[in-house]
Amino acid sequence: MSLRLGDIAPNFQAQTSIGEIDFYEYLGDSWGVLFSHPADYTPVCTTELGRTAQLKSEFDKRNVKVLAVSVDTVEHHKGWIKDINETQNTQVDFPIIADPERKVANLYGMIHPNASETFTVRSLFIIGPDKKVKLTITYPASTGRNFLEVLRVIDSLQLTAKYSVATPADWKDGEDVIVTPAVPTEEIPARFPKGHKIIKPYLRTTPQPNK
């Protein structure tokens, strides 16, 4: 199965490092980040889970819950978490899903046969409160994920879900945004009272409306 943007993220029940969960119940009305790892005790993934734990307050203030998934067992996960906490100077308290039968991996299309017949690729999904897939990224095993980029995308997704704006290249929270083409130029002053700039008829910018 290959999930595409706008698809409903499949629900599942699974054993995790914090106990059994129902994915939808765990997310509730929050945003979610679900990301996969080929196996426990792997070096790049150790740094990634550590970095995610270090950024807990950033995810919390954005109302985002994170979950990792690996094909190893809960007992393996618990041992690995001790290593992560020790080596990355943090405390992992989000669930790591045990997926030895690759149920979640197959639901989310995380196994790419040309990369590995048995292990998940390193996929990441951002899921909205409506349970729809908002973003997918797949990394090779040798490249660690940029979790500041994940947070940046979440900022953009949450902003553009509420306002008729888009975010330009390299945009960061607090910077000017683009007024979408669906908004006629004559309506911009009323809808975006902070002001706007017309660079081209199709390229209009305005200060970030929620700042």
Q: Which domains does the chain have, with CATH numbers?
A: 13-146 (3.40.30.10), 163-206 (3.30.1020.10)
Mean pLDDT confidence for 161-168: 97
pLDDT at residue 117, rounded to an integer? 46
pTM here is 0.92
In angstroms, rounded to a whole number, what is the distance separating the alpha carbons of residues 36 and 26? 17
Bigger pLDDT: 114 vs 195:
195
Output the pLDDT for position 8: 97
Lowest-pLDDT range of 84-88, 117-121, 157-161, 190-194: 117-121
Can you give the pLDDT at residue 125?
A: 96
Lowest mean pLDDT segment, chosen from 81-95, 100-114, 142-156, 179-193: 100-114
The answer on pLDDT for 1 being more than 60 is no
- pLDDT of residue 33 exceeding 50: yes
The residues annotated as belonging to the active site are 45
29, pLDDT greater than 90? yes
The contacts of residue 71 (CB under 8 Å, 6+ apart) are 38, 39, 99, 100, 102, 105, 118, 119, 120
Whether 115 shows a pLDDT value over 50: the answer reads: no
Residue with tokens 């149920």: 103
Helices then strands, counting H and E runs in the chain, come out as 7, 11
Token digits of residue 159:
């902003």
